[in-house]
Structure 1
Amino acid sequence: MTETIALLGCGFVADLYLRSLQAMPGISVHSVHDRDMDRLSRFCAHWQLRAEPELGAFLGGLPKGCVVLNLTNPAAHYTLNKALLEAGHHVYCEKPLALDLGQAKELCALAAARGLLLASAPCSVLGEAAQTLGHALRSGTAGPPRAIYAELDDGFIPQAPYAKWHSESGAPWPHEDEFRTGCTLEHAGYYLTWLISWFGTVRKVVAASAEVLPDKAGLGGVAPDLSVATLFFENGPVTRLTCSIVASHGHGIRIFGDRGVLSCDASWDNAAKVRFAQRRALRRRLVENPFPRRIRLPQPTHPKVKRWGAAAMNFMLGPAEMLDALRENRPCRLSAEFALHLTEVTLAIQNAGEDAGAQVMTTRCAPMEPMPWAK
């Protein structure tokens, strides 16, 4: 049985979804819309898809209850998510769900009222690395977790040759949107989704954010390019999360438990190695095993994709989970509540500035059901 999705927006990230789709049999694309006709034509010609130049015709021509991937610029997410829901379609939105918490809450209420699914990227939380770490936590491999350090630092991006970065179909890396939106809204979710899936609700955020590299690409003051957050969970360890496009590249996470340290070095690689270094006393010193043991889940897990650029992620794991949930008539792991809580925590970090202090979260989210192959 072939299931159908549609794409709204075909910029840089859309090619990553289509490359991932090649690894996901049984899912087809009904149609694609983008406001840029040249980009739409180029993308659809490259992937041999049907273009729909008019938004109204796109919305009205989709099958009832279609899962639509909103891959547009972040500033358009709220407006287009609302239009999709009002048209009766399930929505999978690239991050962030909205740029304002009130708007995100409105979208979730609308989805609930219409009986529609609303989910937000990133979906790497459904990938093998995140699920392996989750399994190790549930199994007590490292003992009770006491603290977590996570980094999403991308290097000194304003000096990178980003003008040369183009997607498979030729779309340029959208540096203006990236800088205006900010690295926290763009990237914090890659570890926040993992953390929330394991521990559930973040009850309080203590964060600071700043723009330490002004005038990026001649844009003047834009979004913070550095943030540091301490997260306090209702039922989880205190966590420190950093996001920047300043500090040297590092996408690692370390979970410090009573028995040792669980770690993963590459959040953007679904097949990244998960390791456990046991802690022990050696003579008069306390040491961690310099040759950590790799932790693996039984195979197979999910379809993998080859590395393209900075990532080796299957971007279609999220839409596939939505389709599976609809077909099986069960709750979707990427629920609207999950997306809303992710949005609130991310916005709290992004907008913290120097003086926000402790911010109490107003939304809640239960831990995520593990994937069947990770239980």
Structure 2
Amino acid sequence: MSTLGIIGCGFVADLYARALAVMPGLRVAAVYDRDAARLRTFCEHWSLPAVDSLDALLAALPADGIVLNLTNPDAHFEINRACLIAGRHVYSEKPLAMRMEQARSLHALAAERGLMLSSAPCSVLGEAAQTLGHALRHGIAGTPRLIYAELDDGFVPQAAYARWRSESGAPWPAEDEFHVGCTLEHAGYYLGWLIAWFGSVRRVVAASAEVIPDKPGSNGTPDFSTATLFFENGPVTRLTCSIAAPHDHRIRIVGDNGVLSCDAAWDNAAKVRFARRLTLRRRLMEHPFPRRIRLPRPTHPHVKRWGAAAMNFLLGPQEMLDALSERRPCRLSNDFALHMTEVTLAIQNAGEAGAQDMTTRCAPMEPMPWAQ
């Protein structure tokens, strides 16, 4: 039985807790939140053991356990650092830290202590991302030439977010979400896929802006960003994030032979399709009835849809625990977490500044065994 400790019982924590039902090999040793009432409500709802301090949680974890840092983003650096100093492997909700110098210091500390430091999101380990990766490796669309990735969530400030509650009753943290911004919160969902397939981004050419002012807690935080990513060994990619444009979570990979696509970044079981290119009566077009691409074998445990997401949030922690027990490198490596953080921060902080060369590097990710 593999062991987890959970720090933070807010909105996102329920998405991790509900995945426990399909991951029977995982055990939660302890849960802590500085808000005692929220801690009690969460633990009673999920029948999990509560402790009254961070020190107590760290003491409850064995050396091969994993800390899940699900706190508010402004606390990520402090909590991640404390856990690493205590000699614990850490899986952090995104972002790893709010500033790049903080992320670098965490990466250095983890290396010094011989610890794993992984960052959400883990949807890169899910069926949809792995199916697209399989299609790329097997040349189904031919050589990839251009990628468009969209993470637009609709005009969120006009949504009924004051009534959004998690399963155990935690409110959606609107002020935190608007203060941190949709790029830091969401870009990783496709950045993780792209870095896994192609490795390092060498240059980011981006712009970001606040297009909807006066949101609670926003303080000028960008609610729109667009970036052109230049990989060391991959196709040019355009990634857009917003909480203004109509909902669109598509990714389209344009190859010599046609287009691979997926419509739902937040659904592990989202359909992956290929539309071959053809000429009909002198008109060049993609086939109007794309075929679905499927993997040849069973994949991973799936979680039923709740709200906007149908993702197994424990695929990342499980990968870390498997890497520990099998004494192999973790797919969600320390370098992966640091590089994704640098790219994300470059997009978030771009403003009207233009290009930025990346200083970190990350190798492409080994596919899951069922997606070879």
| TM bucket, shorter chain | over 0.9
Question: Do structure 1's residue 317 and structure 2's residue 315 form an aligned pair?
Answer: yes
2:171 is aligned to 172
Deviation of 1:49 (Å):
1.0
1:247 is aligned to 245
Contact 1:179 1:222 in 2 (8 A): no
Deviation of 1:121 (Å):
0.1
Name the SS of the counterpart of 2:22 in structure 1: coil
- Structure 2: runs of 5 or more not aligned: none
TM-score, normalised with respect to structure 1: 0.98
Name the SS of the counterpart of 1:326 in structure 2: helix
Deviation of 1:59 (Å):
2.4
Aligned Cα RMSD in Å? 0.8
Mapped to 1, the partners of 2:260 and 2:75 lie a distance apart of: 38
2:95 is aligned to 96
Contact 1:8 1:33 in 2 (8 A): yes
Contact 1:60 1:87 in 2 (8 A): no
Name the SS of the counterpart of 1:106 in structure 2: helix
Mapped to 1, the partners of 2:218 and 2:41 lie a distance apart of: 32
Q: What are the residue-to-residue correspondences of 1:56-75 with 2, within 5 Å?
A: 56-75=55-74
1:235 is aligned to 233
Which residue among 220, 237, 250 is the counterpart of 1:222? 220
Which residue among 296, 299, 302 is the counterpart of 1:298? 296
Mapped to 2, the partners of 1:220 and 1:38 lie a distance apart of: 27
Which region of structure 1 is more displaced relative to structure 2, 335-344 or 20-29? 20-29
1:346 is aligned to 344
Identical pairs, percent:
73
Contact 1:199 1:233 in 2 (8 A): yes
Contact 2:9 2:71 in 1 (8 A): yes
Mapped to 2, the partners of 1:335 and 1:246 lie a distance apart of: 33
Mapped to 2, the partners of 1:30 and 1:222 lie a distance apart of: 40
Contact 2:175 2:218 in 1 (8 A): no
Return closer, same or farther for 1:36/1:276 CA change in 2, 3 Å cut-off.
same
Contact 2:178 2:218 in 1 (8 A): no
Contact 2:151 2:248 in 1 (8 A): yes
2:122 is aligned to 123
Name the SS of the counterpart of 1:303 in structure 2: coil
Aligned length: 372
Give every structure 1 segment of 4 or more consecutive aligned residues whose post-TM-superposition deviation is greater than 3 Å.
Answer: none
Mapped to 1, the partners of 2:212 and 2:5 lie a distance apart of: 38
- Structure 1: runs of 5 or more not aligned: none
1:348 maps to a residue whose letter is A
Q: What are the residue-to-residue correspondences of 1:71-150 with 2, within 5 Å?
A: 71-150=70-149
Mapped to 2, the partners of 1:146 and 1:193 lie a distance apart of: 19
1:279 is aligned to 277
Deviation of 1:210 (Å):
0.3
Deviation of 1:284 (Å):
1.2
Question: Do structure 1's residue 156 and structure 2's residue 155 form an aligned pair?
Answer: yes
1:374 maps to a residue whose letter is A
Deviation of 1:202 (Å):
0.2
Question: Do structure 1's residue 14 and structure 2's residue 18 form an aligned pair?
Answer: no
Deviation of 1:220 (Å):
5.8
Mapped to 2, the partners of 1:135 and 1:327 lie a distance apart of: 26
